[in-house]
Amino acid sequence: HQRALAKALEEAKVANAAKTDFLARMSHDIRTPMNAIIGITALALDETDNPKATEENLTKINSASHFLLGLINDILDMTKIEDGSVELNRELYAYDDFIGNLRTMFEPLCQKADLTLHIRKSENLPAVMTDKVRLNQIFFNILSNAVKYTKEGSIKFVIESVISGNKDILTFKVIDTGIGIKKADNARLFEKFERLDQEQTDIQGTGLGLAITKKLLDLMGGKISFESVYQRGTTFTIVIEQQIVDKSKVDFKTYKAKKMTVDEYFDGSKYKILLVDDNLLNLKVAEKMLKKYNLNVTSVKSGLECLNYTKNKRYDLIFLDHMMPDKDGVEALKELRTIF
């Protein structure tokens, strides 16, 4: 009994130390981009009459804000995974959509970084049941790293499928010609907050991406491994076994990835949008973003106002915030559903 008590006490101490360490780390990691945002905003306010400087300042603020949001999302994700509250969805996913999504995201990034992106896949990949968001997240992490840690050369993404019964064994390889990983660092790669070889690079990151990727793959019953030659390049290999649903194979020959360019913005002048949020800054930002597409945007500040507006006018799309005074989003949606 005594021994069990001592053990429990020891475990509690370790958990508490880990939490303290986590908080110390977080306050540092959050403060860094936050200080950049505050500092550069102050600079920008001093330089409003210089358009070139303003543009540079805003670009920096934008980048620090995205980094901060990414960090917060990663922390929330990590916390959710660690306390076991992540549940995987099972949805039908065709691999042409999967590859299309990644291509749309990474082709411009590779172009910008002057890297060649090659995507090679088995001729006929089946549609499977999987968690789309998590699968995208895994490959987003691995491909982002490949882009981040490769100065020149190429990134290859290879997908192979071997079918055995009603299972599909998918092997994904992401091969880069980047900075590589030292043998001595291999064991730390999937640990959270570990960033390797930092004296060599000034690349932004949190050290959470691969830890999250590994945990998600554990949940999915997948495996991740890597091989690397320092200063030559790295290959990440992910193997996932999935249930095939749609036996009729997806024909990739007919598949063409869609590229979004600025000229292809669609003209939304036919559509009416209702924005519902009690946060005025959020409304301003959303209005600006949507008006770029000529959409007709109306903004209101509560669920109650949303119900009043929808009484007399039809909207093509309603963006509804959750927490608001005067009827929150969930209540408003319930009532909307009884009307339409």
Which residue shows structure tokens 């409304």? 283
Question: In this structure, what token pair is assigned to residue 132?
Answer: 């789309």
| Contact call for residue 64 and ligand ADP (CB under 6 A) | no
Taking CB under 6 A as the binding criterion, the range among 59-67, 178-186, 241-249, 328-336 that sits at the site for ligand ADP is 178-186
Smallest gap from Cβ 76 to ligand ADP, in A, equals: 15
Q: Do residues 81 and 219 make contact, with C-beta atoms less than 8 angstroms apart?
A: yes
For residue 99, the minimal CB distance to ligand ADP (Å) is 20
115-154 footprint of ligand ADP as x/- string (CB under 6 A): --------------------------x---xx--x-----
**DSSP letter string over 212-246?**
HHHHHHHHHT-EEEEEEETTTEEEEEEEEEEEEEE
Binding range to ligand ADP, per CB under 6 A, among 40-48, 60-68, 177-185, 282-290: 177-185
> Bridge-partner residues for 246, per DSSP?
127
Nearer of residues 210 and 307 to ligand ADP, judged by Cβ = 210
* Of the candidates 93, 183, 194, the residue with the CA atom closest to the CA atom of residue 136: 93
Strand, helix or coil at 334? Answer: helix
Return the H-helix or E-strand segment holding 320: strand 317-320
CB of 149 to ligand ADP, least distance (A): 4
The least distance separating ligand ADP from the CB of residue 69, rounded to whole angstroms, comes to 14
* Beta-bridge partner residues of 298: 274
Strands 115-121, 153-164: pairing is: parallel
Site for ligand ADP in 189-248 (CB under 6 A): 189, 194-197, 205-211, 234
Among 33, 178, 303, 329, binds ligand ADP (CB under 6 A): 178
Please tell me the chain's helix, strand, coil percentages from 3-state DSSP, rounded to the nearest 5.
Answer: 50, 25, 30
**CB 234 → ligand ADP: shortest distance, Å?**
4
Binding site for ligand ADP (CB under 6 A): 141, 145-146, 149, 176, 178-181, 189, 194-197, 205-211, 234
